[in-house]
Chain A
């Protein structure tokens, strides 16, 4: 609070503008909060002050319990039942049949040999996507963070430029790029201008995968750049000064100072990017619809199609596939937590 009085004039102005905008909302808010005063005071008299924290916790825990924890457990229930009924009590128990169906494969490397080949295509597409997307994501986020960490003019502006696509919705991101990649879009116009042939970017399986990776890196890179930038700025500058005095080249300074000190942050970024990439759905679904054919159909889209989009909603199979995805994500999250603990311990 004390900063406000010491702030310079522009900061003062901004504050007053913000206060003005918040005033209308504040009146509503206060009225709502005051409404709760008498009942909460009455409850406090009945329960005593020692039980008040439980009361404050109750709404949150109730929401978590009903909409997160309960679903997590009944998900297992759905994955061992069959039929098309919505409610678990009406569904026949089938044991591990759904899992058996998912994993019934002639050969592990050939998705066409599996009974549920759409699932395995989704798995292999996801593996391809994750491999390239995470590699490019970490690489470009690192390079961008290194560039933005230099002493350059208008650094705040450039940081904003690289960060802002993070805030765009997946639908907006996909449509921005779809418009550029259309048959008569900007990119093909450029190709023709350069004397090359038109390419149907989203109708070719390999190009569709390429653009899925490209667009998702474009959209999310700024987030990881910000994490890495914070890591870079935490490296004490006297290390570089000392290195410069010793006549160390910048290249060597990068390998000997920057990379080792940034390593913990890089690992965290890597695993975070992995967790997000495995769950890829929105942008690619709007951009390619999973096509051409099933070339860009990923695991989450398989779950969505099986459980919701297909004419016959197969909740059991969708749940079994979610459990498989959940196991993968759980392993990745545990890795992330372990890495984060090591980073914070080292710092």
Chain B
């Protein structure tokens, strides 16, 4: 609309043609031209990708840099590190530089030592000759190199292997318990008619209004009196029953046909058999959603473990990472690599969840 009016008011000649070209370039399905809001949309999305993804990409790239590489300022984009060479007569590998000599020629030399602004260098091919070079005449030679030791060292030599195991243990066991006890309650609340059903439901839903932040002290005391302080069970047990879980599963189980259960009872199935052989398999989609949620909650949990676990042997990955980054001389190369390890399972589950959502939409679209 706007380009057309602009073209017609600027007179004949090239202007209308320009309008046609712009119209062609910006034409969309249905023959409509791009409104300014479409430009704004794409600008917003481009900026959004940069802001949401950029930090993660930066974390990934940085996590593969050596400690020396991380200390460089301004930082390099890719994980580059200086090339070193083994030189005869030197106990350790020497860093390699590209040096512009006084006569203008360029040589690749290794640095033996640096005093002030003068660097003593040698040619790796001819280790006997020492060459003094002003430091501004040399430039480090860098090559792309992934510092995988950032990942292996903390997992093998520090306690991160143990933290990882603790986190996996808490996540798996807690999710199993959550699935069992919440599906049992949901089964009772959806399949049976019994006295106190609404009361029980109201009781469970009302616990939704009690976040952990307002009951920290008394929950700690309960856990302490059960002897579960500094034990992974102290993290697993208190959050095992979740009102969200019961509600989600119950809503799903209510849609199951009652005849199925009647038929099973005719066949002399026990109630427990009806629960796990008939109702649970049919509730698989809802159970999967709860499992995904539970895995996320447990893996990412921070405040409650921070209170219950004070000994490093029982730290989860989140606690270990927090303690490690708070140390006086933080070794950021290890912190960053362990941050990647911590977010990796969540990223994997997310890939799975995305698929789950799309198939869910596909199947409901077919309904």
Contacts and interface: CB of A to CB of B under 8 A. Distances in A.
Which residue among B192, B216, B246, B301 has the maximum number of chain A CB atoms within 10 Å of its CB? B216
Contacts of B184: 56-57, 59-60
A278 to B, nearest CB: 9
A11 interface: yes
A330 B214 CA distance: 10
Interface residues of B, number: 98
Contacts of B280: 33
B222 interface: yes
Interface stretch (A101-109, A128-136, A177-185, A258-266): A177-185
A223 to B, nearest CB: 12
Interface stretch (A112-120, A167-175, A200-208): A167-175
A67 B52 contact: no
B346 A303 contact: no
B229 to A, nearest CB: 10
B204 A64 contact: yes
Given A167-B296, A169-B299, A176-B339, A69 B221 contact: no
Contact of B325 (A67, A156, A175): A175
Contacts, number: 258
Given A88-B221, A304-B216, A179 B363 contact: no
Contact of A171 (B185, B239, B302): B302
Interface in B184-219: 184-185, 187-189, 191-192, 194, 197, 200, 203-204, 207, 209-211, 213-219
B203 A64 contact: yes
B354 interface: yes
Interface in B313-327: 318, 321-322, 325-326
Q: Please report whether the interface of chain A is mostly helix, strand, loop or mixed according to DSSP.
A: helix
B45 interface: yes
Nearest to B58: A186
Interface stretch (B82-90, B103-111, B137-145, B271-279): B271-279
A303 B358 contact: no
A160 B354 CA distance: 8
Interface string B38-69: 10011011001101110110110010000000
B238 A67 contact: yes
Of B280, B306, B349, the most chain A CB neighbours within 10 A belong to: B306
Main secondary structure of the interface of B (DSSP, over half): helix
Contact of B217 (A75, A150, A180, A329): A75
A70 interface: yes
Contact of A44 (B222, B271, B322): B271
B52 A162 contact: yes
Contacts of B121: none
B165 interface: no
Contact of B58 (A53, A61, A161, A180): A180
Interface in B107-128: none
A308 B306 CA distance: 9
Contact of B215 (A33, A53, A68, A333): A68
Contact of A70 (B42, B222, B273, B322): B222
Given A307-B217, A322-B214, A325-B213, A60 B48 contact: no
Contact of B275 (A56, A69, A322): A56
Nearest to A279: B213
B200 A61 contact: yes
B52 A161 contact: yes
A40 B271 contact: yes
A44 B274 CA distance: 12
Interface stretch (B16-24, B70-78, B153-161): B70-78
Interface of A: 1, 3, 6-7, 11, 14, 33, 36-37, 40-41, 44, 49-50, 52-57, 59-61, 63-64, 66-75, 77-78, 86-88, 143-144, 147, 150, 152, 156, 158, 160-162, 164-165, 167-172, 175-180, 184, 186, 189, 192-193, 218, 250, 279, 281-282, 286, 289, 300, 303-304, 307-308, 315, 318-319, 322-323, 325-326, 329-330, 333
5 contacts: A74-B221, A147-B44, A169-B318, A171-B322, A319-B217
